[in-house]
């Protein structure tokens, strides 16, 4: 059966049928893995980040990115680090003493995490 007739019979796109036939000819008869990859390249440096935060509670994301680049030769963006920290329960808490003063605020783990 041709790819066009198979596509019409199963109600799929012609390009999809062509791709499935090509995969079958190469011996790949199962579906490929779907979804995002698990883990992050920052997972290997978790102890490094915790150490930075323990030493200097009011360290900024920019400072952490610079230290990671200098000490571990890993280049990442500030927002990537922010997302990674938030997924692990680290938040940027406001302190009443800092309001209006413009001082930097410390990182703190969410309740029950450390």
With cut-offs at 50, 70 and 90, classify the pLDDT of residue 93: low
Residue 58 DSSP label: T
pLDDT computed for residue 62 by the predictor:
92
- The residues spanned by each domain of the chain are 1-32, 43-109
- Are the beta carbons of 61 and 82 closer than 8 angstroms? yes
pLDDT digits (tens, 9 = 90+) for 101-111: 555 555 666 65
How would you class 26 by CB atoms within 10 Å of its CB: exposed for 0-12, middle for 13-18, buried for 19 or more?
Answer: exposed
* Averaged pLDDT score across all residues of the chain: 84
């Amino acid at each position: 059966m041709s790819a066009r007739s198979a596509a019409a019979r199963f109600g799929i796109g012609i390009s999809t049928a062509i791709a499935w036939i090509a995969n079958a000819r190469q011996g790949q008869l199962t579906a490929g893995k779907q979804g995002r990859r698990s883990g992050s390249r920052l997972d290997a440096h978790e102890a490094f980040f915790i150490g930075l935060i323990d030493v200097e509670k009011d360290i900024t994301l920019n400072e952490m990115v610079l230290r990671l680049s200098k000490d571990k030769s890993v280049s990442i963006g500030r927002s990537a680090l922010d997302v990674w920290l938030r997924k692990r329960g680290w938040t940027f808490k406001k302190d009443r003493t800092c309001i209006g003063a413009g001082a930097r605020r410390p990182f703190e783990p969410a309740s029950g995490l450390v």
